[in-house]
Amino acid sequence: MSEKIEALKAEISAAKAKTQDELEAYRLKFISRKSVLGDLFADIKNIAPEERKAYGQSVNEVKQLAEEKFKELIAGLESSDSGGKSSAPVDLTLPPNINLGTVHPLTYIHNRIVEIFQKIGFNVADGPEIEDDFHNFTALNFPENHPAREMQDTFFIESNPDIALRTHTSSVQIRVMENQKPPFRTLAPGRVFRNEAISARAHCFFHQVEGFFVDKNVGLVDLKQTLYYFAKELFGQDTKVRFRPSYFPFTEPSAEMDISCNICKGEGCNVCKYSGWVEILGSGMIDPNVLENCGIDSEEYTGFAFGMGIERIAMLKFQVNDLRLYSENDVRFLNQFKHLS
């Protein structure tokens, strides 16, 4: 009998488990209820009474050995599963290695713009990205077949050309003016779509912020002062501003606004094409036709509107020279904005 026990001990000590199957085979043979040890315990009734105590002790030794070996085999298998790394104890006092991610640069600029205008009483409005012709063009003074419609290459729906992906967030201005009563001091940020070939300088979608202010006695001086305040808040108090006459169907008069180049401080660099100025937004006094289209008396109310591209502002602020980077989800790009969060 003791020979059988010694043989079992030797077998247990030499056991190896390189796979889960081998581990299971070991468990069945030495650990489970139907293991060889069960047979040994059952044999106890065949042992002479005076030898039973010693026998029981040696069977228990085998059982203990089998269990210890089993733990050892499990540990060995786990460490080889994790690429053979040593099972060194984990130091729980070390700081956790968690990559928290960052605010997207466009989200950051969007939030900054909203914050700046909220300080002077603007609220934020939202509207649909799928628009009808009236809200995207007609109400904004783009007459049928007017060349102005060709200024913006539009994604129309083939089966229903009255439906399009909005080309600007000015459509939100119409929706707000239709449904609410003046005065308005509203900001409409959102995604817009143009049928453009994708390149470093153009994309088929980008983000705009449109803003408008309608009340009694709103004049050009309010427009200039509001945008001047905005440019200084966003680009720094030493920022200079200039307006250049321009044309938009929905404003009259219209103007593009430039700021002094924030990179070279007006000295001239390749971003400002050595002019010292960079264009950041379009603006103007809302055309009376647009107010009338929304049921607002243009004799009583006047207003101004402005619109800017969030990507464009972010490009100037962070000196990003390729528009495509914003939507590629490349963490090497996004990680550079960690300081913003």
Minimum Å distance from CB 322 to Zn ion? 18
Least CB distance from residue 337 to Zn ion, whole Å? 22
Rounded to a whole number of angstroms, the minimum distance from the CB of residue 217 to Zn ion is 38
How many residues contact Zn ion, by CB under 5 A? 6
Q: Are 95 and 296 contacting, i.e. CB atoms less than 8 angstroms apart? A: no
Reading the block at residue 43, the tokens are 């044999």
Residue nearer to Zn ion on the CB measure, 204 or 271: 271
- Name the nearest CA neighbour of 102 among 249, 324, 272, 318: 318
For CA atoms 111, 178, 307, 216, give the dihedral sign: negative
Query: Closer CB to Zn ion, residue 5 or residue 263?
Result: 263
**Position among 5, 47, 124, 264 found at the interface with Zn ion (CB under 5 A):** 264
Q: Shortest distance, CB of residue 260 to Zn ion, whole angstroms?
A: 8
DSSP 8-state secondary structure symbol assigned to residue 131: E
Contact region with Zn ion (CB under 5 A), list: 112-120, 124-132, 265-273, 285-293: 265-273
Window contacting Zn ion (CB under 5 A); options: 1-9, 62-70, 179-187, 272-280: 272-280
| 279: contact with Zn ion by CB under 5 A | no
Alpha carbons within 13 angstroms on the beta-carbon side of residue 82 total 9
Report the candidate in 231, 284, 278 with the shortest Cα–Cα distance to residue 255: 284
221, with CB counted inside 10 A (0-12, 13-18, 19+), is exposed
* Residue 247: strand, helix, or coil: strand
Q: Which is nearer to Zn ion, 277 or 304 (CB)?
A: 277
In the complex with Zn ion, which residue's Cβ is closer, 32 or 319?
319
> Which of these, 232, 226, 313, 318, lies nearest to 278 by C-alpha position?
313
**Residue with smaller CB distance to Zn ion, 196 or 256:** 256
Q: Which residues pair with 154 in a beta bridge?
A: none
Under DSSP, is residue 40 helix (H, G, I), strand (E, B) or coil? helix
Q: Which of 65, 77, 163, 269 binds Zn ion (CB under 5 A)?
A: 269
* DSSP structural state of residue 95: P
Answer for which of 192, 272, 285, 296 binds Zn ion (CB under 5 A) is 272
Options 119-127, 157-165, 202-210, 254-262: segment touching Zn ion (CB under 5 A): 254-262
Could you say whether residue 261 binds Zn ion (CB under 5 A)? yes
Q: Could you tell me the CA-to-CA distances from 295 to 102, 177, 186, 205, 261 in Å, in that order?
A: 44, 8, 17, 31, 41
Is 252 flagged in the annotation as binding?
yes
* Residue 315 binding Zn ion, by CB under 5 A: no
Beta strands in 62-176 (DSSP E): 123-124, 130-132, 156-157, 160-165
Smallest distance from Zn ion to CB 126, Å: 35
Instruction: Please say which residue, 161 or 236, places its beta carbon nearer to Zn ion.
Output: 236
To the nearest whole angstrom, how small is the minimum distance from the Cβ of residue 263 to Zn ion?
A: 5
Nearest residue to Zn ion, using CB?
261
Burial class (CB in 10 A: 0-12, 13-18, 19+), 20: exposed
Query: What are the structure tokens assigned to 196, written together?
Result: 């453009």
Positions at the binding site? 252
The residues that touch Zn ion, with contacts defined as CB under 5 A, are: 261, 263-264, 269, 271-272
Report the binding-site residues for Mg(2+).
252
